[in-house]
Amino acid sequence: MDLNIVHEPGKRYYVEVDGHVAEASYTEAADGTRSFNHTFVPDAMRGQGIAARLVRHALDDTRQSGHRFLAVCSYVQRFVEQHPEYQVS
């Protein structure tokens, strides 16, 4: 399934599939650091890897735009732990 992930600057990344919306929301500090604080996937969208693809896209886009990120949300924390390429050295 190809996902059309949308970025609402300063707020969230989200994707809509069949009328259901999954999101990874964040707040942005004055220095541009994005604190990812909530990830939500409705029951109808679960089990398809959407959360992982959404978070991967959000973190990649954050880095590519020159920003740092903090994994505040427990899902994002687990994602970063499982994917060393997102860990800060």
CATH number of this structure's domain 6-86: 3.40.630.30
Q: What is the pLDDT of residues 30-89, one digit of tens each?
A: 999 999 999 999 999 999 999 999 999 999 999 999 999 999 999 999 999 999 999 874
Predicted confidence band at 12 (pLDDT cuts at 50, 70, 90)? very high
Predicted confidence band at 2 (pLDDT cuts at 50, 70, 90)? confident
Return the H-helix or E-strand segment holding 81.
Answer: helix 74-82
For the chain, the structural domain boundaries read 6-86
- Provide mean pLDDT across the span 18-26: 96
Residues 6+ apart with CB under 8 A from 42: 20, 21, 22
Whole-angstrom Cα distance, residue 28 to residue 49? 26
Predicted confidence band at 1 (pLDDT cuts at 50, 70, 90)? confident
